Structure 1
Amino acid sequence: MARVLVVDDTDNIRNLIVMNLTLEGFEVVTAVDGLDALEKVVDAAPDVITLDVVMPRLDGFKTAERLRADPRTRHIPIAMVSASAQASDLRRGTETGVDAYVTKPFDPDELVRVVRGLAETGRSPVPDSPA
């Protein structure tokens, strides 16, 4: 069973994502913003992260940059789930190493399909641990 870290500062959206993923058999851990996600990610050991862009304290792009910079988390696939879907947002997502982009309001089936695809095939090889 794949584990997903769902990061969104809006309770209703976070709960909707959790409900849809849970119904499809995913184990879900949540975070309320980027800093909360960075505090939880190593212990949660998710197979996929869904990440909102506009959040207090640390936005999704900066969170993704920090996840990609950390050898312990750089291999985890990230799906941005955001209403911020201008061409510049998509480009910035690609530049920060985001693996998929789902636009809010999202189709729950599309979200599940994207997360399942990342859980099954989107993972980069786990980096070697330092000896």
Structure 2
Amino acid sequence: MRRIRVLKNKSVLIVEYDEVILNILSSRLKKREMIVITADDGYDGYIRACTESPDFIILDDLLPSMNGFRLSRMLKFDERYKDIPIILISSTPENEQNSNYSQVGIDKLFYKPFRFGDLISCLEELGTP
């Protein structure tokens, strides 16, 4: 019950190029009564973040047009969006860039595959004042 109250009516932007993962995440977050906004590439994700100002952003690291690291950096260094928590989902755990994820403004890093429950716990933690 606590999870629903913390996340209910919060908005989340999911930027994911893999349609299957995008649909699964979207469906499961909607079941928790979250408002879900989606984008399938980095540029569209940036536009959606700027126009929608979501409560959370979940990004893949490997996106068409603009990768998750660049998108995060652009948002975090903009005064209007710097406080939006960003979660990066990486498919490349050995990638050296991932060790410096906090330098580009990423609040939490998950590696594929990950447990959905862990993602929910992270959203709750980031969304609790």
Corresponding residue for 1:17? 25
Give the TM-score normalised by structure 2. Answer: 0.86
1:1-131 matches, cutoff 5 A: 1-86=9-94, 88-121=96-129
> C-alpha displacement at 1:86, in angstroms?
2.4
Gaps of 5+ in 1: 122-131
Whole-Å separation in 1 of the counterparts to 2:120 and 2:126? 10
Corresponding residue for 1:129? none
The number of aligned residues is 121
After the TM superposition, which parts of structure 1 deviate over 6 Å for at least 4 consecutive aligned residues?
none
Amino acid aligned to 1:8: E
> C-alpha displacement at 1:119, in angstroms?
2.0
Gaps of 5+ in 2: 1-8
Whole-Å separation in 1 of the counterparts to 2:54 and 2:112? 22
Whole-Å separation in 1 of the counterparts to 2:23 and 2:124? 18
Corresponding residue for 2:3? none
Q: What is the root-mean-square deviation of aligned Cα atoms in Å?
A: 1.4
Amino acid aligned to 1:82: S
Amino acid aligned to 2:77: A
Whole-Å separation in 1 of the counterparts to 2:125 and 2:27? 18
Amino acid aligned to 2:112: K
Whole-Å separation in 2 of the counterparts to 1:117 and 1:26? 15
Whole-Å separation in 1 of the counterparts to 2:97 and 2:117? 23
Whole-Å separation in 2 of the counterparts to 1:2 and 1:101? 20
Whole-Å separation in 1 of the counterparts to 2:110 and 2:77? 23
Amino acid aligned to 2:49: V
- Does the Cα contact within 8 Å between 1:82 and 1:103 map onto a contact in 2? yes
